[in-house]
Amino acid sequence: MVIKVSKGHYEIVEKRGVILKTDFLGSGIALGMIDKENEIAGLCYFVLPYKEGDLEIEAGELILSGQSLLPLFFEELEKKGFNFSSAKIAIAGGSKYKSSPEALNIGEINFKVLQSFLIKYPINPKNIILRVGFNCQSFLEVNLKEKILKINLNGEEEVL
């Protein structure tokens, strides 16, 4: 089963042969995590950094910023018994466009928001694959069935 995680949302799965995927990330950031021992995986994907960017599309249909989404994502992982210290983690997106002025580099701001949450957890830096700020198409996949993370940059896949 493949679950596409939309912008401003996250998905967490346990003990199932599920693949979580993003659309084209652009300046958005995707954070994929797998706890192989406990068979828990999650994928969080946001485009705007701060709470002021939270949008209500329809009644009850929200697209959340990183500042709003990340605490919910990490809290739910903790409740499920996710082991952050041994987890494999992939971070992708935050594309930087050549013609965009530095003041509009939202990808870099999105990444800084993510970093501010990651430092609160006992994550082993050796277990992180980071592909942020590239000027190309990027996608992230969390595959609990095979217990792997995949980052795709311009058609080139990298597996962790």
- DSSP assignment of 34-64, as one string? EETTTTEEEEEEES--SGGG-EEEETTEEE-
Q: Report d(CA 141, CA 143) in Å as an integer.
A: 6
Predicted TM-score of the model (pTM): 0.91
Domain boundaries, the chain: 2-159
CATH topology of domain 2-159: 60s Ribosomal Protein L30; Chain: A; (3.30.1330)
Cβ-contact 91, 150 below 8 angstroms:
no
In this predicted model, what pLDDT tens digit does every residue of 90-147 receive, in sequence order?
Answer: 999 988 766 655 656 788 889 999 999 999 999 999 999 999 988 888 999 999 999 9
Backbone torsions φ then ψ of 76, nearest 5 degrees: -65, -40
Q: Report d(CA 59, CA 93) in Å as an integer.
A: 29
